[in-house]
Structures are given as structure tokens and as C-alpha cells.
Amino acid sequence: MERPSYTPPPTPAPATQMPSTPGFVRYNPYSHLAYNNYRLGGNPGTNSQVTISLVKKNKNI
């Protein structure tokens, strides 16, 4: 009835190899940078697409 100790939960293994984590992490900073650039009135050339999306959302609100 006792559980064997040779069956630990493989949580850290798949979490580190999951490609979803790096993708999401990469998308977060991009959005933040674009929002900061737009708010500061910087050069929205690098994040033109994201800036446009933010402007459209702001106009809607």
C-alpha cells in the first residue's frame, strides 16, 4: 500500500523543456517595452505593430 520512492513527480523536467514558457516570457517584455515607448513618446519604429495595437485599444477605452 506504501508508494515507492522511485516515482517522483516529473514537474521540473517538463517545465524546463516546455517551449511555452520562453515564448510567453518573450511576448511579455515586448508588450511592456512597446507600452513604455508609447507612453514616453519614444521611437515606436521597432514596436510599430504592438504600438498600433495599444493605440487602438486606448482609443476604444
d(CA 56, CA 42): 18
Instruction: Delimit the domains of the chain by residue range.
Output: 21-60
The SS3 call for residue 46 is coil
Give how far Cα 5 sits from Cα of 2, 14, 44, Å. 9, 20, 55
Neighbours of 37 (CB within 10 A): 19
Judge whether residue 49 has pLDDT over 60.
Answer: no
d(CA 13, CA 10): 6
Looking up cell 516546455 gives: 18
Mean pLDDT of the chain: 56
Judge whether residue 50 has pLDDT over 60.
Answer: no
For residues 34-52, give the mean pLDDT: 56
Judge whether residue 3 has pLDDT over 60.
Answer: yes
pLDDT at residue 14, rounded to an integer: 46
With bands split at pLDDT 50, 70 and 90, how would you rate the model's confidence at 59? Answer: low
